[in-house]
Amino acid sequence: MLELAILGFLSDTPLHGYELRKRITALTGHVKPVAESTLYPAIKRLENAGLLERATQPGSVAAPRHVLTLTEEGGQELRRRLAQPSRRDVTDENRWFTVLAFLKHLRDPEAQAAVLRRRLSFLEEPASFFYDGDRPLRAEELDDPFRRGILTIARATSQAELDWLRSTLDTLEPAAH
């Protein structure tokens, strides 16, 4: 996930690690902060895999910077990960937002629509948070106000996203669909 964010931001433009960290923090960090001790090893992993290159620049403000640039393989890997997100990338909102943030790099509208459709079918799966045996419990059946809140909030959020997904898919898909 972190790796996808790194590849995605570097596909927008070359950046040094510190700036990368700020952008990742803005994207997912207010929800799930990224520690530097997670980011720098991740950068090193991607560098060792040949997905990005670093060029040391004399520090314009303070310490010397390592400007990171995506390689050709890095761009391919980004598009591969965007086109074939794992199930968790689709279900976990943090991961999904990261996919969405960089989906534009998957230039083909049909490929973009296919990814959105995966999220759509996940959101359309019937799912609850609490069950009585196999039967999903509805908000009205819970006497715990906090658990009722979970269902209420989840329903509202998924409705908002369904609306957005359907209208966006309409603009991406040719009328033939």
Partner DNA sequence: CATGGATACATCGGAACCGAGGTATTGTCT
Partner DNA sequence: AGACAATACCTCGGTTCCGATGTATCCATG
> Looking at 33-41, 73-81, 109-117, 124-132, which segment touches DNA (CB under 7 A)?
33-41
Measured N-to-C along each axis, helices 17-24 and 36-48 cross at an angle, to the nearest 10 degrees, of 120
Is 157 a residue that touches its own copies (CB under 8 A)?
A: yes
- In the complex, minimum distance from the CB of residue 29 to its own copies, in angstroms, rounded to a whole number: 9
Could you tell me the CA-to-CA distances from 152 to 42, 101, 111, 127, 146 in Å, in that order? Answer: 37, 27, 33, 13, 10
**Can you tell me which of 35, 167, 174, 175 binds DNA, judged by CB under 7 A?**
35
Tokens read off for 62:
């303070």
Cβ neighbours for 54, distance < 8 A, ≥ 6 positions apart? 43, 47, 66, 67, 68, 69
One character per residue 66-105, x = contact with DNA (rule: CB under 7 A): x---------------------------------------
> Looking at 43-51, 110-118, 141-149, 158-166, which segment touches DNA (CB under 7 A)?
43-51
**Can you tell me which of 32, 44, 80, 166 binds its own copies, judged by CB under 8 A?**
32
One character per residue 4-23, x = contact with its own copies (rule: CB under 8 A): -------------------x
Q: Which residue has the tokens 């996203």?
A: 161
Distance CA 113, CA 171 (A): 9
Residue 19 binds which one of its own copies, DNA, none, with CB within 5 to 8 A depending on kind? DNA
Cβ neighbours for 60, distance < 8 A, ≥ 6 positions apart? none
For DNA, the binding residues (CB under 7 A) are 1-2, 16-19, 32-38, 40-45, 59-66
